[in-house]
Amino acid sequence: MLDREGYRPNVGIILLNHQNEVWWGKRVREHSWQFPQGGIKHGETPEQAMYRELEEEVGLRAEHVKIIGRTRDWLRYDVPDHFIKREVRGHYRGQKQIWFLLRMVGRDCDVNLRVSDHPEFDAWRWHEYWVPLDVVIEFKRDVYTRALQELSRFLRPPHPQGRRPRERMPQPQADGAESGVATEPEAK
């Protein structure tokens, strides 16, 4: 499904942990790293496509993440001709993407790169938010920069020692016993 200008609608996903590090996937049998992304199917909303792609590529479901933000508009990139199949040259120009910023509320062990019969990634890691884009295929670098810049407005300070808000922490009681009362992190 292409728009009138020859761009395929697509979603991009920037997944954060509680230290504001981003999920960075290594493409199968390649030395390039990227964020999860994928096409929007006919009848899908960008949000529906994002959840489907997240599960297909990373193995995470909606309950493992929280949407923090998304780009205001489509971000486009052109694909060089030598990457385009001969039968669509002249019609297909590239991709237009809505980018989502997600916060991981699940655990690292919830990630499963083998959910699909055709995995996109064979390794992953957490990386600082401003990832080095020299390991991203060249024609996507500008879109990555624009997505990271636009979505950075949603970042909040990381939690101390990676703790999540409302984490259950034992609280000392007067008799020396501990209770499992939920606590809020101190405001700074």
pLDDT band at 185 (very low <50, low <70, confident <90, very high): very low
Domains: count for the chain: 1
Q: Is the predicted pLDDT of residue 24 greater than 60, yes or no? A: yes
38 found inside a domain = yes
Q: Map 101-137 to HEC letters.
A: EEEECCCHHHCCCCCCCCCCEEEEEEECCCCCHHHCC
* pLDDT single digits (tens) 110-142: 999 999 999 999 999 999 999 889 989 999 999
21 found inside a domain = yes
% of the chain beyond a pLDDT of 70: 84
186 found inside a domain = no
Long-range contacts, stretch 125-133, CB < 8 angstroms, 24+ apart: 125/24, 126/17, 126/19, 126/21, 126/22, 126/23, 126/24, 127/21, 127/22, 127/24, 128/21, 128/22, 129/16, 129/20, 129/21, 129/22, 129/155, 131/22, 131/24, 131/33
Q: What is the pLDDT of residue 83?
A: 87
CATH number at residue 110: 3.90.79.10
Q: Which residue has the higher pLDDT, 22 or 81?
A: 22
Q: What is the pLDDT of residue 177?
A: 46
2 found inside a domain = no
Using CA atoms, how far apart are residues 3 and 5, in angstroms rounded to an integer? 5
| Neighbour count for residue 39 (Cβ, 10 Å) | 16
- Structural domain containing residue 54: 7-179
63 found inside a domain = yes
